[in-house]
A and B are shown apart, each in its own frame.
Chain A
Amino acid sequence: MPSSDSEDFESADEGSPETDKKVRKKRTSSSHYSDSNSQETNTGDKVTAKDNSQKVNVEPNVEAKTDGWDDFDIDCPVENEKLTKVKETKKLTKEADKPQSTGWDDFDDWGNDDATATTAVTTEKTQTDKSAADIKELTDRLASATSKNSGWGWGWGVDSLLSTASAGITTLTSQVSQGISTVLETGIGAPDPEELARINAKTTENTEQKSSSEHKSIEPSVVQEKEQTSPNEGSFPFGSLFSGVTKFVETTGTKVIAGGLDTLETIGKKTMEVLQDGDPGLAKKRAMLGLDPGEKPVLSQILREAKAKADEEDKIREEKREAKEVHYENLFDDFEGLVHLEALEMLSKQVNMRIEERLRAAEPEKKQDIKETMQQVVELCEIPEDEEDDDEAPEHQSKPDALHDRLQTATQDLGLKLQFQPIVKQYTDVLAWLSSNSNLNEKAVYKRAVSSLAQATALAVEIYHKTAEMLLVKTRRSTADEADAMTQMTVVLTKHVGELATLFTANMNSIETDNKDQVNTYITNIFLESGNSSTYIQNAFQLTLPILQIGAV
């Protein structure tokens, strides 16, 4: 038993695998919750249909996703959509699904931070595109903006962008800021690029050659990515986008002019540029926000997760606090068991020192005698094997009285007036509590069980301590009798704590509950604590040994 004792303690208090499960369960559900939440946010983007299809196609388009340009490309429409809050965008995105050959590659290149690349592409575009004039104007502006502001770094925040915007068209500023904040919250990794890449994978590859030749100056990896996404060239409905925008411009009136649109696009591009500066594909930013590339950093979601985490911690703290309430060692200390044990130990050490002094001072023969006598005392104090002597309480006697009698009988040869009332009274109280409270829940019984075991053990240790003190001031010692009495007393006390554990577990078993697992854990713990109690009692007995020995030497 002693060897398993530390384990006993461990499981005794921690006996809450249920708790862990619960916590885990909670965690899982909370993550579900946030998942669905992020989906909710997506629906708010007015691109639900696309969203869903994108979700399905995330896997095959991983590479496309990592391409920085795609992100930008898509964010532009999203941003516009936010800004204008017109349904046109929806129409546009729908149209995007249809394969068309427009100036897609023009936009395609905007994502590159490289100003020279942009310029180079611009030249190409002017040659190939249908709507060359319009595009050229746009891209030229962009190119110049890019080279002009090539020094933009992270120090450039949204504020700077906004000031640029206000320089353009003041009436749109508020919308711009709205748009930007919405974009930032709903996430940079907008779904569209994957979607587009998927669609375009089906289209012809003839344009691919062209695009790869275009970007010879760009590093190979970029070229490779380019090849993956290049089918976009043939499909992006640039013309329709433009016409859609034009329509919008018309409907909104003369206030919003083409230059305004350009400015917005410049802002969009710049935003992405700043965001992606030294971080292609926004991988770092995503990592910083603790999100997988596919997830979107949504503030509300993060806050919700933080709250869930805090709730969880509170729960754990509460459980810990409760665990402390039924903490055997703390209770044992509260009942002064620990300090009695400490005092007994101090006495024991002191006496041991005196014995050693005597041994040192003794003649060699006498020394041998003393050692033999001490060994005899040790042998006398060996606890007999569990002999099943019937110490059942006689019919007429209550259990506490029987305990008192047994203790008296065991210790009558000690020649001391020991006080057994406290431990007998405690037993009476326990029995009364168990019989008077019929509708107890398992937790209450468990708490009382641990507390009662700790208290009974503390009282038992106190008996050993008092006995040791009184033996030391006893004038006439009779070591053999004392040793026998102490051994018997140890048997009685050990049985008593076992009996207490049995009483509580029997009561626990009679409780009708749905939580049978919890009850079983409690029962196991009660028996473990009762084993713990026996160990304390045995320890106290062993500490008393030198006090018995010194009476004989």
Chain B
Amino acid sequence: MLAVLNSHEMLQIMTSGPYNYSYIFKYIIIGDMGVGKSCLLHQFTDKKFMADCPHTIGVEFGTRIIEVAGQKIKLQIWDTAGQERFRAVTRSYYRGAAGALMVYDITRRSTYNHLSSWLTDTRNLTNPSTVIFLIGNKSDLDGQRDVTYEEAKQFADENGLMFVEASAKTGQNVEEAFLETAKKIYQSIQDGRLDLNAAESGVQHKPASPGRPLAAPPAARDNCSC
């Protein structure tokens, strides 16, 4: 067994460096292949629409610093692969997410039908305080709509999810989805519902006094060449 630092410990130490933000929130974007998860992320981080986004392998990352209630928050977004074959791999990444953006494609009913399965994974693999936001993507393609707003809204309400229809192409509601999630998480922190000290919270509070982060202690091993 490897004696590597627990990832959270490691991240905690590493990120206690001099940054101009107070919190780090971990987001995870999930949903069927081709619903536009990576495009939503790009729209949010780069304000651009990537027309032909390649399939995501495993997980890709994006970051953006936002401000909620005067606090600078770094969003560390994990954009997972939608392909079924990566399902086992991506399940490893849910842990410690403070927010989960669950995406379906309003023009493809099957992606909507799979939501309950995604929701089950999310509920099982994250903690109860994780904020789940349902996004019906491709709202610009209203003519090809396969899922009504009302239907999805009802599903969201029944499951206690936040919900918007958005378009990664036009940028409509993209910002809102990410920011509203952050606000909800921040609210949870304020209310004390979210325990910052819990490793699974997905939120890290940056200490006010930046100190020199420690080096990651090397993994204990005998076969090191050096």
The answer to whether B4 touches A6, judged by C-beta atoms less than 8 angstroms apart, is no
Option from B58, B88, B93, B218 in Cβ contact (under 8 Å) with A2 = B218
Q: Which A residues lie within 8 Å of B92 (CB)? A: 343, 346-347, 349-350
Q: Which B residues lie within 8 Å of A538 (CB)? A: 218-219, 221, 224, 226
Query: A6 with B11: in contact, given A348-B2, A472-B88 (CB under 8 Å)?
Result: no
Question: Distance in Å from the Cβ of A17 to the closest Cβ of chain B?
Answer: 16
Give the CA-CA distance A280 to B207 in the complex, in Å. Answer: 48
Query: Interface size bucket, B side?
Result: 35 or more
Q: Which residue of B lies closest to A528 (CB)?
A: B215
A494-553 residues at the B interface, CB under 8 angstroms:
494, 531-532, 534-536, 538-539, 542-543, 545
The answer to whether B225 touches A385, judged by C-beta atoms less than 8 angstroms apart, is yes
The answer to whether A333 touches B14, judged by C-beta atoms less than 8 angstroms apart, is yes
Q: Which residue of B lies closest to A3 (CB)?
A: B218
The answer to whether A340 touches B61, judged by C-beta atoms less than 8 angstroms apart, is yes
The answer to whether A465 touches B93, judged by C-beta atoms less than 8 angstroms apart, is no
The answer to whether B212 touches A470, judged by C-beta atoms less than 8 angstroms apart, is no
Of A7-15, A162-170, A241-249, which stretch is located at the interface?
A7-15
Most buried by B among A1, A346, A384: A346
The answer to whether A381 touches B223, judged by C-beta atoms less than 8 angstroms apart, is yes
Q: Which B residues lie within 8 Å of A531 (CB)? A: 226
Query: A345 with B226: in contact, given A5-B218, A327-B18 (CB under 8 Å)?
Result: no
Question: Distance in Å from the Cβ of B211 to the closest Cβ of chain A?
Answer: 11
Option from A327, A336, A342, A473 in Cβ contact (under 8 Å) with B17 = A327
Q: Which residue of B lies closest to A384 (CB)?
A: B225
Query: Interface size bucket, A side?
Result: 35 or more
Q: Which B residues lie within 8 Å of A2 (CB)? A: 217-219, 224, 226
Query: 10 tightest CB-CB pairs across the interface, nearest first?
Result: A2-B218, A469-B58, A1-B226, A9-B215, A383-B225, A382-B223, A350-B92, A324-B18, A342-B7, A6-B215
Q: Which B residues lie within 8 Å of A343 (CB)? A: 58-59, 78, 92-93
The answer to whether A383 touches B14, judged by C-beta atoms less than 8 angstroms apart, is no
Question: Distance in Å from the Cβ of A199 to the closest Cβ of chain B?
Answer: 57
Give the CA-CA distance A348 to B2 in the complex, in Å. Answer: 10
With contacts A339-B61, A532-B215 known, what are 18 further pairs, Cβ within 8 A?
A: A9-B212, A14-B212, A324-B210, A327-B17, A330-B18, A338-B15, A341-B7, A383-B224, A385-B225, A466-B58, A469-B57, A472-B88, A472-B89, A535-B215, A538-B221, A538-B226, A539-B4, A542-B4
A391 close to chain B: CB less than 8 A: no
The answer to whether A536 touches B216, judged by C-beta atoms less than 8 angstroms apart, is yes
Q: Which A residues lie within 8 Å of B89 (CB)? A: 347, 469, 472-473
B1 close to chain A: CB less than 8 A: yes
Q: List 13 A-B contacts (CB under 8 A).
A: A5-B215, A14-B212, A332-B14, A339-B61, A341-B10, A345-B10, A346-B7, A346-B95, A347-B89, A349-B92, A378-B223, A381-B223, A469-B57
Give the CA-CA distance A342 to B15 in the complex, in Å. Answer: 13
B136-164 residues at the A interface, CB under 8 angstroms:
none
Option from B76, B225, B226 in Cβ contact (under 8 Å) with A339 = B76
Q: Which A residues lie within 8 Å of B218 (CB)? A: 1-3, 5, 535, 538-539
Q: Which residue of B lies closest to A417 (CB)?
A: B57
The answer to whether A330 touches B219, judged by C-beta atoms less than 8 angstroms apart, is no
Q: Which A residues lie within 8 Å of B4 (CB)? A: 345, 348, 539, 542-543
Q: Which B residues lie within 8 Å of A228 (CB)? A: none
Question: Distance in Å from the Cβ of B41 to the closest Cβ of chain A?
Answer: 13
Show the binding face of A for B, using Cβ within 8 Å.
1-3, 5-6, 8-10, 13-14, 320-321, 324, 327, 329-330, 332-333, 336, 338-343, 345-350, 352, 378, 381-386, 465-466, 469-470, 472-473, 494, 531-532, 534-536, 538-539, 542-543, 545
Give the CA-CA distance A350 to B1 in the complex, in Å. Answer: 12
The answer to whether B59 touches A338, judged by C-beta atoms less than 8 angstroms apart, is no
Query: A338 with B86: in contact, given A5-B217, A8-B215, A543-B2 (CB under 8 Å)?
Result: no
The answer to whether B226 touches A473, judged by C-beta atoms less than 8 angstroms apart, is no
Q: Which B residues lie within 8 Å of A536 (CB)? A: 216
B151-207 residues at the A interface, CB under 8 angstroms:
none
Give the CA-CA distance A118 to B89 in the complex, in Å. Answer: 95
Write out, one digit per residue, whether chain B residues 86-121 have a CB within 8 A of any chain A CB (1) or not (0): 101101110100000000000000000000000000
Give the CA-CA distance A85 to B213 in the complex, in Å. Answer: 63
Question: Distance in Å from the Cβ of B95 to the closest Cβ of chain A?
Answer: 7
Question: Distance in Å from the Cβ of B77 to the closest Cβ of chain A?
Answer: 10
Question: Distance in Å from the Cβ of A137 to the closest Cβ of chain B?
Answer: 67
Q: Which residue of B lies closest to A2 (CB)?
A: B218
Give the CA-CA distance A340 to B78 in the complex, in Å. Answer: 10
Q: Which residue of B lies closest to A475 (CB)?
A: B85
The answer to whether A329 touches B61, judged by C-beta atoms less than 8 angstroms apart, is no
Query: A1 with B224: in contact, given A345-B7, A347-B89, A539-B219 (CB under 8 Å)?
Result: yes
Option from B2, B17, B58, B223 in Cβ contact (under 8 Å) with A329 = B17
Question: Distance in Å from the Cβ of A349 to the closest Cβ of chain B?
Answer: 8
Question: Distance in Å from the Cβ of A311 to the closest Cβ of chain B?
Answer: 22
Q: Which residue of A lies closest to B18 (CB)?
A: A324
Most buried by A among B59, B215, B221: B215
Give the CA-CA distance A320 to B17 in the complex, in Å. Answer: 12
The answer to whether B1 touches A324, judged by C-beta atoms less than 8 angstroms apart, is no
Give the CA-CA distance A439 to B95 in the complex, in Å. Answer: 49
Give the CA-CA distance A5 to B10 in the complex, in Å. Answer: 15
B51 close to chain A: CB less than 8 A: no
Q: Which A residues lie within 8 Å of B69 (CB)? A: none
Question: Distance in Å from the Cβ of A382 to the closest Cβ of chain B?
Answer: 4
Query: A466 with B57: in contact, given A338-B11, A542-B2 (CB under 8 Å)?
Result: yes
Question: Distance in Å from the Cβ of A497 to the closest Cβ of chain B?
Answer: 12
Give the CA-CA distance A3 to B10 in the complex, in Å. Answer: 17
Q: Which A residues lie within 8 Å of B85 (CB)? A: 473
Question: Distance in Å from the Cβ of B159 to the closest Cβ of chain A?
Answer: 26
Question: Distance in Å from the Cβ of B65 to the closest Cβ of chain A?
Answer: 12
The answer to whether B217 touches A6, judged by C-beta atoms less than 8 angstroms apart, is yes
Give the CA-CA distance A320 to B212 in the complex, in Å. Answer: 10
